Chains A and B, each alone.
Chain A
Amino acid sequence: MKLFSVTLVVNGRAVTLRVEARQSLADALRGELGLTGTHLGCEHGVCGACTVLLDGEPVRGCLLLAVQTEGTEVTTIEGISPPAGLNELQESFRRHHALQCGYCTPGMVLSLHALLARDPTADEEAIREAISGNLCRCTGYLPILQAALHVAQSNRLKRADTSSTQSSA
C-alpha cells in the first residue's frame, strides 16, 4: 500500500500525515489526528456534516483527499472552540436550541463561523445561503437561523456602540 506524506496546518498546529491516496481529509482528521468533532454523514457530498474550513473557506471534508491538502491550513470545530466553555456562536446555538442530536452541528457552526468572520452582521438571506448545503434532520432549521441572527444582531449593536463612543470622544 503506497502512502503519501502530507504536511499541513490543522487548527494552528503543523502536522505531517501518512495517508493512502484514497483517504478523505475528514477520515484523516478523525482517524489520524483524533479530531472526531468532524462528523461524517453521507460520505458523498450531500449532507455537509463533514464541513471544515480550508484556508478559511467552508468545504466538504469528505470530497477532499487528504493528499490534496499539502501546504494548506485546515480548521475544524475543535479549532474554533475555546479551551473551556463555548464561543459566542456555540453559546447562541445552545440558547436557541439549535441542536438536538448534534450530528449536523459542527458543520453548521463552521459554515456560520466562516460567514460571520467575513460578514459579522450578515442578514437572514446570507445566513440561509451559508447553510443551504448543510442538512439537519432534527431542528427544522429555524432555531439555527435564530442562533446565527442573534450573533449578527449582537455584532451590529457592538458596532453601533463603538461608533457612538468614538463620536462622543
Chain B
Amino acid sequence: MKPAPFDYAAPRTLDEAIDLLGRHGEDARPLAGGQSLMPMLALRLSRPSLLVDLNRVESLSGIRIDDDELRIGAMTRQAEALESAEIRRHVPLLAQALAEVGHPPTRARGTIGGSLAHADPAAELPAVIVALGAKLVIRGATGERVLRAEEFFRGMFETDVKAGELLVEIRIPIQAQGSAFLEIALRKGDFAIVSVAASIALGPDQRCVAATLVLGGVGPMPVRCADSERRLIGHTPDAAAISAAAEAIPIDRVELGSRSASRGYRRRVAPVLVKRALAAAAGAAGAAP
C-alpha cells in the first residue's frame, strides 16, 4: 500500500503549474485534495512520474459572485464550500449535495474541482453541476476554454480535460428556484448508489416555468432526464405531475450494478427517489402542499 516513487513540485502560480504539466504530458498528474488520487497511488492504479501539487496556487481557490454567476475556484475545499453562506443562499443544491460527500476530514482536504475532474460515476457533484447548468473553465498552455457541464463529462472517470490542462473554475448561474438533492448510500458520507438532483421554478400561477432533473450513480456519467423535465413545465407540480415525470426517466440508462446494489435495485429505487426529490424541490420553490 505504498505508492511507487514519483517526483514532486509545488508551484505557486497557475502559469508555472500549467507549464510543468505541459512539459511532462501524460507522465504528470495534478494533485488537488488527494482524497482520490492518493488512494489510487497507494493501490498503484496510477503511477505518474511527477505530481504537480496545486495546493500552493492561491489564485485557484475562492468563492465569489460575478454578475449573476457564482464562481468557485477549482481548489476550493469541499468543507469551505459547504460552510459558505453565498453557496447556501444562491445555490442551495450544491450545499445539500456537499453534505453527502465523504466526511469532515475528507472534505477538509478534498476540492470541488478535484471531485469533478475525477468524474467518479458514484460521486455527487457531477450530477449537481449538470443540474445547475454550470460552465467549467479549463486552462492549458494555449489558453482557456469554457465547457458546459454536459460537455465536460466524457465517461466513467473521464472528462474533456486533456494532459497538460487544468480545470480552473466552475461558474454557476444564480437562479431563483427550489431544489433538492437526495441519495441512497450504504452509510452517511458514502458514495451514492443512486442520487437525484432536482430543481423547480414556479411562475406566479404556481405552474413550473423551469425544471431540472439529473440522476447520479446510475451510469458512467450523470443522466439528464429531459422528458421528465418537459412533462413538468407548464404544470402545477402536484402528485400527478410528479408521478408522470418519474415515469418518464430514461430507465434504460440506469446501467450500473454492484455487489451492494444491483442494477434491478437501482431501477426500482430511482423513480421513488425522483418523486421525493421533485416534491421537495417543489416545496422549496413555494408550491402549495
B10 pairs with A68, CB closer than 8 A: yes
A45 pairs with B38, CB closer than 8 A: yes
Task: Known contacts A22-B2, A42-B1; decide if A130 and B104 are in contact (CB<8 Å).
Answer: yes
Which of B39-47, B161-169, B210-218 sits within the interface?
A: B39-47
Task: Known contacts A21-B51, A45-B39, A130-B104; decide if A63 and B109 are in contact (CB<8 Å).
Answer: yes
How many residues of B are in contact with the other chain, CB < 8 A? Answer: 30
Q: How far is the CB of B239 from chain A (nearest CB, A)?
A: 31
- The answer to whether the Cβ of A57 comes within 8 Å of any Cβ in the partner chain is yes
A133 pairs with B4, CB closer than 8 A: no
- The answer to whether the Cβ of B25 comes within 8 Å of any Cβ in the partner chain is no
Q: How far is the CB of B185 from chain A (nearest CB, A)?
A: 11
Q: How far is the CB of B252 from chain A (nearest CB, A)?
A: 33
From A21, A44, A45, A129, contact of B6 by CB (8 A): A21
From B3, B6, B39, B108, contact of A58 by CB (8 A): B108
Taking CB atoms, residues of chain B closer than 8 Å to A22 are: 2-6, 41
Minimum CB distance partner of A40 in chain B: B1
- The answer to whether the Cβ of B7 comes within 8 Å of any Cβ in the partner chain is yes
Docked Cα-Cα span, A58 to B105, in Å, equals 5
- The answer to whether the Cβ of B55 comes within 8 Å of any Cβ in the partner chain is yes
Taking CB atoms, residues of chain A closer than 8 Å to B189 are: 132-133
- The answer to whether the Cβ of A65 comes within 8 Å of any Cβ in the partner chain is yes
Taking CB atoms, residues of chain A closer than 8 Å to B6 are: 21-22
Contact with B along A41-77 (1 / 0, CB 8 A): 0111110100100100111101111011010000000
Task: Known contacts A20-B5, A21-B51; decide if A43 and B42 are in contact (CB<8 Å).
Answer: yes
From B5, B35, B41, B188, contact of A132 by CB (8 A): B188
From A2, A4, A57, A133, contact of B103 by CB (8 A): A133
Minimum CB distance partner of B40 in chain A: A44
B109 pairs with A133, CB closer than 8 A: no
- The answer to whether the Cβ of B8 comes within 8 Å of any Cβ in the partner chain is yes
Taking CB atoms, residues of chain A closer than 8 Å to B106 are: 45, 60, 63, 133
Contact with A along B98-129 (1 / 0, CB 8 A): 00001111101100000000000000000000
From A51, A58, A63, A67, contact of B38 by CB (8 A): A63
Taking CB atoms, residues of chain B closer than 8 Å to A1 are: 5
Q: How far is the CB of B131 from chain A (nearest CB, A)?
A: 25
A129 pairs with B10, CB closer than 8 A: no
Taking CB atoms, residues of chain A closer than 8 Å to B7 are: 2, 21
- The answer to whether the Cβ of B62 comes within 8 Å of any Cβ in the partner chain is no
- The answer to whether the Cβ of B53 comes within 8 Å of any Cβ in the partner chain is yes
Docked Cα-Cα span, A43 to B6, in Å, equals 18
From B3, B4, B5, B8, contact of A67 by CB (8 A): B8
- The answer to whether the Cβ of B283 comes within 8 Å of any Cβ in the partner chain is no
Q: How far is the CB of A48 from chain B (nearest CB, A)?
A: 7
Q: How far is the CB of A43 from chain B (nearest CB, A)?
A: 4
- The answer to whether the Cβ of B257 comes within 8 Å of any Cβ in the partner chain is no
B103 pairs with A132, CB closer than 8 A: yes
A133 pairs with B104, CB closer than 8 A: yes
Taking CB atoms, residues of chain B closer than 8 Å to A21 are: 5-8, 51
Docked Cα-Cα span, A67 to B43, in Å, equals 20
Minimum CB distance partner of A43 in chain B: B1
- The answer to whether the Cβ of A105 comes within 8 Å of any Cβ in the partner chain is no
- The answer to whether the Cβ of B34 comes within 8 Å of any Cβ in the partner chain is yes
Q: How far is the CB of A76 from chain B (nearest CB, A)?
A: 14
Listed by A's residue number, 5 A-B pairs whose Cβ atoms lie within 8 Å are: A22-B6, A51-B105, A62-B42, A63-B38, A65-B8
Give me the interface of A with B, judged by CB distance under 8 Å: 1-2, 4, 20-22, 24, 27, 42-46, 48, 51, 54, 57-60, 62-65, 67-68, 70, 111, 129-130, 132-133
Q: Which 5 A-B pairs have the closest CB atoms?
A: A133-B103, A43-B1, A21-B8, A44-B39, A63-B38
Q: Given A58-B108, A60-B105, output 9 extra A-B contacts at Cβ < 8 Å.
A: A2-B7, A21-B8, A22-B5, A24-B38, A44-B39, A57-B108, A129-B188, A132-B187, A133-B103
